[in-house]
Chains A and B, each alone.
Chain A
């Protein structure tokens, strides 16, 4: 795998990006190679290129999000597309319109790409089967968040060249994490070894059937891994009492300065954001020299530009 922009003759055929589970290693690598070509747009004097000129992208967010939505908006505008922002609160969804009606109405206006986030797993897939436009999943239920995992892996590749043989720990509320799932599918496909770390109450059902190792001790795992990926404690999703107290969670599963002393000196510390400082990660670690958290945000833009570009290319190719 290289991200140097080498020539390859790969043809991208998916006009929807619904998840990473279905993608091959070649497809993943093609996205990364393409993203490399988009990186420099953000650094030059005119931060815009014309490949989606005249295309309309709609951000169809049925669930709150700031950074993912902003990142997609910026990615689409840097490709010269027009962007419609559609959020649940300000739309007719709050008046009882169905998902399909909303999508059909937007399609009738002539949109080209729909970026969809929904609290129900499978919603982007459902929309993709009912409209002509390209669909990009920006997070669905506890299923997938493909562009987050793509930007995570791209960030690792920028620091480590290859995923082959890398040991990655994903720590925290795995059960409610689409980020953990998308990363698991893609990282293992690229040859990494993934360990889910967290209390038993926050592990998904039938975790033994997934292609990962499972550990309930961050202390044991931290010494061995190349990457530690801290998930956000999502208070808004946690019903009941999955752990006795926030302090106890921090003590066992928080990435503290003390715990970092046991880690390899070249470990990469990652987090999808937004961070609960002092809870899953201490400020000194989040802002420390091993943290690539802001690189994740930066590369997210190039990766999302690549995804928007590729799904549109597949739609063009389809018309041949």
Chain B
């Protein structure tokens, strides 16, 4: 197990994400941040706070549960049984630019599921993808618009993001 990002590096990556998004946000543009459960939820809250400071206005933050949209739900080969949890998006997504936030972008399958889940809630002006860690291994034609950190890991390795709120520590590890 190697720690590839410590808490300071995570803060730095989040700053980079927020600055990039803020730079691309025009005056008066309606934006919102939506995190994918479960680690994406925490990342999205931290990103939302940073964006609020940089833009000088409150940025709505929501949480998306993608379980019902996963493409392996009826696949006996899939690992642990998925848990359905709540989607908590307390604002209208119509007409907004939605920054979809996840911890790690790997195969792209979660992002596909998240986009399908989002458009069942309304019609955003655009969906952009922001991830804390971008790694190789894409199986779908999906790329991040904003990545906090690009990491080189081999096929069999897993990248795990741990956050204080859930795991008691801020770090990104490779196993």
Contacts and interface: CB of A to CB of B under 8 A. Distances in A.
28 contacts: A4-B86, A6-B85, A7-B83, A7-B85, A8-B83, A9-B80, A9-B83, A11-B81, A12-B81, A33-B83, A34-B84, A37-B86, A37-B87, A39-B86, A44-B120, A46-B121, A49-B120, A51-B67, A51-B68, A51-B73, A51-B74, A306-B84, A312-B74, A313-B73, A316-B76, A316-B78, A319-B76, A320-B76
B95 interface: no
Contacts of A49: 68-69, 117, 120
A36 interface: yes
Given A36-B86, A44-B121, A5 B65 contact: yes
Nearest to A4: B86
Contact of B87 (A10, A33, A40, A50): A40
Contacts of B80: 9, 11
A317 B72 CA distance: 12
Contacts of A196: none
A167 interface: no
Interface of B: 38, 65, 67-69, 73-78, 80-88, 116-117, 119-122
B84 A50 contact: no
B121 A5 contact: no
B84 A309 contact: yes
Contact of B83 (A4, A10, A51): A10
A46 B82 CA distance: 22
B10 to A, nearest CB: 21
A224 interface: no
A49 B69 CA distance: 7
Contacts of B122: 44-45
Q: Which of B68, B73, B122 lies at the interface centre, i.e. has the most chain A CB atoms within 10 A of its CB? A: B68
Contacts of B82: 313
Given A33-B84, A49-B120, A51-B74, 11 more contacts: A5-B65, A5-B85, A5-B88, A7-B83, A12-B81, A37-B85, A40-B87, A51-B73, A312-B74, A316-B73, A316-B75
A185 interface: no
B86 A317 contact: no
B171 to A, nearest CB: 19
Contacts of A319: 76
A54 B3 CA distance: 43
Nearest to B94: A45
A48 interface: yes
Contacts of B85: 5-7, 33, 36-37
A38 interface: yes
Contacts of B119: 46
B27 to A, nearest CB: 29
